[in-house]
Amino acid sequence: MEIEIISFGKIAEFMANRRLTVDGIETTAQLKDLLEKEFPALADIKYKLAVNKTIIQETAELKSGDIVAFMPPFSGG
Amino acid sequence: MNEKKIKNIFVSGPITPAFIADSIAKHSAKTDIGGHSIFMGQVRKDELNGKFVAAIEYTTFEEIALAKMHEIREAIFEKYPLNCMHVHHSLGTIKAGEICLFVFTSSAHRKPAIDACTEIVERLKAELPIWGKELFEDETHQWKENK
């Protein structure tokens, strides 16, 4: 299936927005494992995920066409 | 005054003293207000190993940030007897010394205005997907972390 990855802040410096075609990935936890292997710097950051513009607190199931956002700690204000 | 429409809090560039003054002036017609509280965030010229922060470049995930701010706005109006609430946050490059956040609450009496203003600032910093990139004078950078 196809997943669109968007990233922000310092994550965007090493992991550009991309469209991934992945097999055997069904949850956000599996997607995190996959990307943390490809981008070891990601594993050092306490990031949050949003699926289709909603921040998720726990692992969520993914379906083809989902947009997953990788967001480092917020620093507004 | 419970706004249902999602408001855009973002402004491109710094928030000017003139904008803030004008915002205050607009409230003179609302004579049931007895107290205002204002918070302004200013870009600090922090030092790191002899280098100084020249500016902060702000970016956001706008749709999530605005939806989250809408949620906070509704919760604050529910919790405090406010006459009005205004929130403005900068995007783009804001130089040290310039204003990047303006929160303005008004109520019949001081306490709700002060408490609501504080709570909005705390929640905004913790919950809105906004990122500040601290740009040093030598063009290196580091990512801001909220304390």
The CATH number of residue B125's host domain is: 3.90.1170.40
Q: Do the Cβ atoms of B131 and A50 come within 8 Å?
A: no
Residue of chain A nearest B59, judged by CA positions: A9
Q: What is the pLDDT of residue B4?
A: 67
What average pLDDT does the segment A1-6 reach?
96
| Level-2 CATH architecture, domain A2-71 | Roll (3.10)
- Percent of chain B having pLDDT more than 70? 97
Q: In chain B, what percentage of residues exceed pLDDT 90?
A: 94
The dihedral built from the CA positions of residue B12, B17, B18 and B21, taken in this order, carries a sign that is: positive
Q: Is residue B19 part of a domain?
A: no
pTM of the model: 0.94
**A46 close to B (CB below 8 A):** no
With an 8 Å Cβ cutoff, is A57 touching chain B? no
State the Cα–Cα distance between residues B103 and B87, nearest whole angstrom.
5
Q: How confident is the model at residue B31 (pLDDT cuts 50, 70, 90)?
A: very high
Report the sign of the C-alpha dihedral through residues A14, A20, A24, A25, in that order: positive
Percent of chain A with pLDDT over 70: 100
For residue B65, the enclosing domain spans: 33-143
Output the CA angle A14-A54-B85, nearest 5 degrees.
105
Residue B147's contacts (CB-CB under 8 Å, 6 or more residues apart) are none
Q: Which two tokens stand for residue A52?
A: 């289709």
Alpha helix (H) residue ranges in B10-136: 17-25, 62-79, 110-127
Report CB contact under 8 Å: A76, B125.
yes
- The pLDDT of residue B127 is above 60: yes
Number of domains comprising chain B = 1
Mean per-residue pLDDT, B134-145 = 95
Cα–Cα dist B33/B27, whole Å: 8
CA dihedral B7, B23, B13, B69 (to 10 degrees): -30
| Residue A1 Cα, gap to closest chain B Cα (Å) | 25
- Structural domain includes residue B120: yes
ipTM for this prediction: 0.94
B113 touches A at CB < 8 Å: no
Question: Is it the case that residue B130 has pLDDT exceeding 70?
Answer: yes
CB contact under 8 A, A8 and B129: yes
Q: Tens digits of per-residue pLDDT, B66-118?
A: 999 999 999 999 999 999 999 999 999 999 999 999 999 999 999 999 999 99
- Condensed to tens digits (0 to 9), the pLDDT of residues A40-69 reads 999 999 999 999 999 999 999 999 999 999
Query: Is the pLDDT at B1 greater than 70, yes or no?
Result: no
**Is residue B47 pLDDT above 70, yes or no?**
yes
pLDDT, residue B147, reads 79
| Whether residue B2 has pLDDT greater than 60 | no
| Among B117, B129, B132, residue whose Cα is nearest residue B57 | B132
